[in-house]
Amino acid sequence: MNMIVCCKQVLDPEAAPSTFKLDAANNRMVQPPEVKPVVSPYDEQAVEAALRIKDKDKTQKISIISLGNGLVRDVVKKPLSMGADELILLEDPAFEGGDSYAVASALAAAIKKVGQFDLIFFGRQESEWDDGQVGTGVAELLGIPSITVAKKVEDIGGGKVRVERIVADGFQVVEVQAPAVITVSNELGEARYATLKGIMAASKKQPIVWKPADIGLDAAKVGTAARKAKIVKLFQPVKEGKCEIVSADSPAEAAALLAQKLRDNKVI
């Protein structure tokens, strides 16, 4: 199978909430120097899902596509060091500022240029806008089926895959004939670490870089210009932060005092 995994470079979502700052005037986030970019965590799990298929048949190929501008090579190369075969970067200032519609349109154009694909993996949602639309959108633009929020993906031969997808209170087992889009959730399990051998191999690989014109798009009609959803306002919700810390001579006494407080405030 030819597999494509779309990975986004994001600012580390595990960074402490106190480091988060907004540039409200420009409706965007400010990157604090101590917060480093990473591959969006669900996207790493999407790479893992593809690698588990490749583990069973080494002839299968995994291509990674990342879109952005000023992408940090050591970050976007991580999927290569985990075991992916090639890296395609859609990298241009014009790609900046897109919404899910703009990003999905560019990715679909790039995937068409790649040409051969059976499975296209995405994380269920990236960790900045948490939109969760790009994978499904690419499927619709390419006219192929999509399976969302997968926790297990198995190649069952004959160009078919069996997928377990999370639904309320359980999961569904579904089957689809490739080509198809699959979005992957954290229930798949942890993504593997990059091996030293993988890191060495990745360091030797050069990413393929495509500009809008390379995928048949007009640079004036991608990124911000291709948005369908406009930001009216970006703001930080005001937190009241009125936590009453209950303390006493010993932790056990503090615990009892807490229970009494809840009772006095009619919480219990």
Query: Could you tell me how far CA 95 lies from the centroid of its own chain?
Result: 17
Regarding 158 and contact with another protein (CB under 8 A), the answer is no
Q: Which of 72, 174, 200, 209 binds another protein (CB under 8 A)?
A: 174
In this complex, which beta carbon is closest to another protein, that of residue 196 or of residue 267?
267
Residue reference for tokens 């050591």: 74
- Sign of the dihedral through C-alpha 38, 43, 45, 50: negative
Q: Which of 56, 58, 204, 233 binds another protein (CB under 8 A)?
A: 233
In this complex, which beta carbon is closest to another protein, that of residue 63 or of residue 133?
133
Backbone torsions φ then ψ of 115, nearest 5 degrees: 85, -60
The DSSP secondary-structure symbol of 221 reads: G
Q: Which of 114, 194, 201, 254 binds another protein (CB under 8 A)?
A: 254
Q: Which of 92, 93, 90 is nearest to 107 (CA)?
A: 90
In this complex, which beta carbon is closest to another protein, that of residue 211 or of residue 227?
227
Question: Least distance in Å: CB of 82 to another protein?
Answer: 18
Rounded distance between C-alpha atoms, residue 35 and residue 204, angstroms: 27
Regarding 132 and contact with another protein (CB under 8 A), the answer is yes
Regarding 26 and contact with another protein (CB under 8 A), the answer is no
In this complex, which beta carbon is closest to another protein, that of residue 181 or of residue 215?
181
Question: Least distance in Å: CB of 154 to another protein?
Answer: 12
Which tokens in the block code for residue 117? 């694909």
Regarding 238 and contact with another protein (CB under 8 A), the answer is no
Give the total of residues touching another protein (CB under 8 A).
Answer: 87
Rounded distance between C-alpha atoms, residue 164 and residue 218, angstroms: 39
> Helices 100-114 and 134-142 meet at what angle, rounded to 10?
50
Regarding 255 and contact with another protein (CB under 8 A), the answer is yes
**Could you tell me which stretch among 17-25, 62-70, 86-94, 203-211 binds another protein (CB under 8 A)?**
17-25
Regarding 193 and contact with another protein (CB under 8 A), the answer is no
Within 212-231, which residues bind another protein (CB under 8 A)?
A: 227-231
Contact assessment for residue 107 and residue 222, using Cβ atoms and an 8 Å cutoff: no
Rounded alpha-carbon distances, angstroms, from residue 37 to 71, 148, 184: 9, 26, 21
Q: Which of 72, 73, 74, 130 binds another protein (CB under 8 A)?
A: 130
Question: Least distance in Å: CB of 151 to another protein?
Answer: 8
Within 48-87, which residues bind another protein (CB under 8 A)?
A: none
Q: Which of 84, 90, 133, 155 binds another protein (CB under 8 A)?
A: 133
Q: Is 80 helix (H, G, I), strand (E, B) or coil?
A: helix
Regarding 20 and contact with another protein (CB under 8 A), the answer is yes
Regarding 159 and contact with another protein (CB under 8 A), the answer is no
Q: Is 63 helix (H, G, I), strand (E, B) or coil?
A: strand
Query: Could you tell me how far CA 137 lies from the centroid of its own chain?
Result: 14
